[in-house]
Amino acid sequence: MLALSNNRMLPGFTGGKFLWLSEHEPAVTARLRRFLNPKDFLRLRMTGVHATDVSDASGTGLFDVRRRRWSPPLLAAVGLDEAQAPPVFESHEIAGRLSPEVAARWGLPAGTPVVAGGGDSVMQTTSMGVVEAGSVGTTIGAAGIVGGAARVCPENSGGRLQISCGNAPDR
């Protein structure tokens, strides 16, 4: 699995959760049409668009971070196919537009662009200014994270790191 994603499958990743759900609630997984992360579900409600971004997809255990796309063999290993994975956008790309209903409720123009966004730890690393190769930052809170930036996807021999796609296409 490490060779396919450049990350170990951690228990908290979507892939591991889906395996547990398949084993314990097979009727639920049999009805699954598409999976989404929480922020992506909010976007779905705002725009009607199923989508995710590369940084959040990196934390599913089902994403090839080197190629910035879903890994069909990893999806298949947990009983999913590519049609059940949401389309993937770069963080800055427009992934949908605000629906007329939501726009009216919020007092915003219908069609307001909604970007793909990013995963929480990658976004907080970016917000700390950890964007240039060689920069490092630490977050201590509910989880402790030491994050760094690179211009290329680093090798992850032994799976000792969690490698995520950054919020810029070249990071």
18-64 pLDDT per residue, tens: 999 999 999 999 999 999 999 999 999 999 999 999 999 999 999 99
Contact at 8 Å (CB) between 35 and 18? yes
Taking the C-alpha atoms of residue 29 and residue 31, their distance in angstroms, rounded to an integer, is 5
Read off the pTM: 0.89
Taking the C-alpha atoms of residue 144 and residue 121, their distance in angstroms, rounded to an integer, is 10
What pLDDT does residue 17 have?
92
Average pLDDT over residues 115-136: 87
Taking the C-alpha atoms of residue 2 and residue 79, their distance in angstroms, rounded to an integer, is 18
Question: How would you class 21 by CB atoms within 10 Å of its CB: exposed for 0-12, middle for 13-18, buried for 19 or more?
Answer: middle
The residue from 40, 53, 120, 170 that is catalytic is 120
Active site residue 81: no
User: Is residue 71 pLDDT above 90, yes or no?
Assistant: yes
CATH of 2-118, one of 3.20.140.10, 3.40.50.300, 3.30.420.40, 3.40.50.2020: 3.30.420.40
